[in-house]
Amino acid sequence: MDVSDIHSIEYDPRAMALVKERLSKITAAGRSSDRARNEIIADCMHAIWQRKEKSLVAYVVINWGIDHGLPQFEHFTNRFTKGDLLSISEDDIGEVYGLKTLCAEVGFFGRKDPITYIPDEVFMLPNLECLYFGRGGYPENFSVELKGIPESIQEAKKLKSLHLQYCGLTELPRHIFTPWLEELKIGGNNIKIIPDGIENATSLRMLTAWMNDLEYVSEKIGTLKFLTRIDLMANPNLRLPKSIVNLGEMEEMYIDEDLPDLTPEQLAWLKKNNSFIRDDEPDNEIPF
């Protein structure tokens, strides 16, 4: 909290009213006898500033969810007061701040306005572990045409699972690969390259990128010690990196064996690890 933050409270009548209310409660409870009044006022202002910062995050996330028809935010529609950040109740702030899973599936078909962005404030949610765009992988259930992924994703220190299926993506920015990311699903997009930044995803266990336009996967993929589940099906122009054989034994894997320019070593690795569905097994949907 710096000088500008202090001024943002001083010039906000609603915020100053809350500061005075908080100060009165402290005084009435007799908790101020051994402290300087200016110190207590500063603490009260800091507390209200924190409340205002949380309110801003909650305000943006809730509005984004309501505007795009996300079922998780339907119950906010009738009681959420727009325009006054400090009017958001402590309970509503707590509910949004406590979100571990944010599911960006739309609650109805045929919505006209697609989701084109993820606000930075989504990645400011301190407990966010899973972000799902189209969890089931069925594009008719939602309308997403993301223009990109903000760099603020690197602030989401607990984000382990990121599902960006059928989102209209044409590229993956390097900043999407964080050391804490464990599961990345990007099937059904128009991505051509999985870039060198993938080596930063040192905790990655699952990568699914079926049905893209993949042509290149970084050689750095071979450095990922925990990666044991891969699906790169339906990318006919993909030239596998030579380092992929360094991944060793897979728990589950789906990669075409007729890709261009496969080396004998790569082909042997594919035949050893592929998990194709047998003829006597039901063909429910695209693997994981």
Judgement on whether residues 92 and 113 belong to the same structural domain of the protein = no
Q: Is residue 111 part of a domain?
A: yes
Judgement on whether residues 10 and 133 belong to the same structural domain of the protein = no
Q: Is residue 75 part of a domain?
A: yes
Q: Is residue 286 part of a domain?
A: no
Judgement on whether residues 148 and 261 belong to the same structural domain of the protein = yes
Q: Is residue 244 part of a domain?
A: yes
Q: In the listed set 73, 97, 121, which residue is the last one of a domain according to the structure?
A: 97
Predicted structure pTM score: 0.83
**Residue 33 above 70 pLDDT?**
no
Q: In the listed set 97, 132, 159, which residue is the last one of a domain according to the structure?
A: 97
- How many domains are contained in the chain? 2
Closest CA to 245 of 217, 273, 269: 269
Which structural domain range is residue 139 located in? 100-280
Judgement on whether residues 112 and 208 belong to the same structural domain of the protein = yes
Q: Which residue has the higher pLDDT, 129 or 36?
A: 129
Q: Is residue 285 part of a domain?
A: no
**Residue 267 above 80 pLDDT?**
yes
Closest CA to 246 of 267, 221, 263: 221
Q: Is residue 64 part of a domain?
A: yes
Judgement on whether residues 152 and 61 belong to the same structural domain of the protein = no
pLDDT value for 36? 83
Residue 193 β-bridge partners: 216
Pairing of strands 206-208, 193-194: unpaired
**Residue 127 above 90 pLDDT?**
yes
Q: What span, in angstroms and rounded, lies between the C-alpha atoms of 200 and 100?
A: 23
Query: CB-side exposure of 258: number of CA atoms within 13 Å?
Result: 2
In tens, the pLDDT along 152-204 reads 999 999 999 999 988 889 999 999 999 999 999 999 999 999 999 999 999 99
Q: In the listed set 28, 63, 97, which residue is the last one of a domain according to the structure?
A: 97
Both structure tokens of 129: 């572990």
CATH number at 147 reads 3.80.10.10
